[in-house]
Amino acid sequence: MTKFIVLLIATTTCNVAMANDSPTLTFENSDGSQTSIAAPGLIITFSDGQLVGVNGDTTVTLDLNQLRKMYFGQATGIDSTTAANDGTTTIYTLGGVLIGKYPSFAEAKAQLQAGVYIVKTANKTFKTTIK
C-alpha cells in the first residue's frame, strides 16, 4: 500500500517538478534523513522497490519502504549552520551543482567561498551559510 501511495504521489506531482517556483524536491526517510535534488529537469523512475531521481549528473536512489514523504520547496532557507564530523562531506550549490567532496565538514568550510550551500554527509543533508 505504501508503495502505491508513493507511486501515486510521484506520478501526480511529477509535472509540478518542472515549475520554476519550486526548484527542489526533498525526500524524507523514516529515520528523518532528508535528500534534496533540483526539480527542473528531474526524471523519476521506479525499479525493484527503489525510487530513482536523475537530474543531469545528480542521481538519488531511495528505498520505497523507507520513504516517508517528499515535497517541493525553495532552496532559500537555512536549516543548520553546524555539523558533526560525519566523514566524507559533499557540497552542492543551491541549484544542485556539485562543488566538491571533502574529508570533513570543517575542511569544506575552510575551503569554500562565502555563500549558501547544500551539505551532504553520511548521516544528514542540510543547508549552510559560509560567511
Summarised one tens digit per residue, pLDDT across range 10-66 is 555 544 434 344 578 888 888 777 888 888 888 999 989 999 988 887 888 889 998
Calculate mean pLDDT across residues 57-79.
77
pLDDT confidence of residue 92: 93
pTM recorded for the entire structure: 0.44
Query: CA 84, 79, 128 angle in degrees (round to 5)?
Result: 65
Which residue, 15, 124, 7, 23, is CA-closest to 65?
Answer: 7
Which residue, 99, 90, 117, 72, is CA-closest to 127?
Answer: 117
pLDDT confidence of residue 18: 40
pLDDT confidence of residue 79: 47
Question: Is the per-residue pLDDT at 5 higher than 80?
Answer: no
The torsion angles phi and psi of 37, rounded to 5 degrees, stand at -145, 145
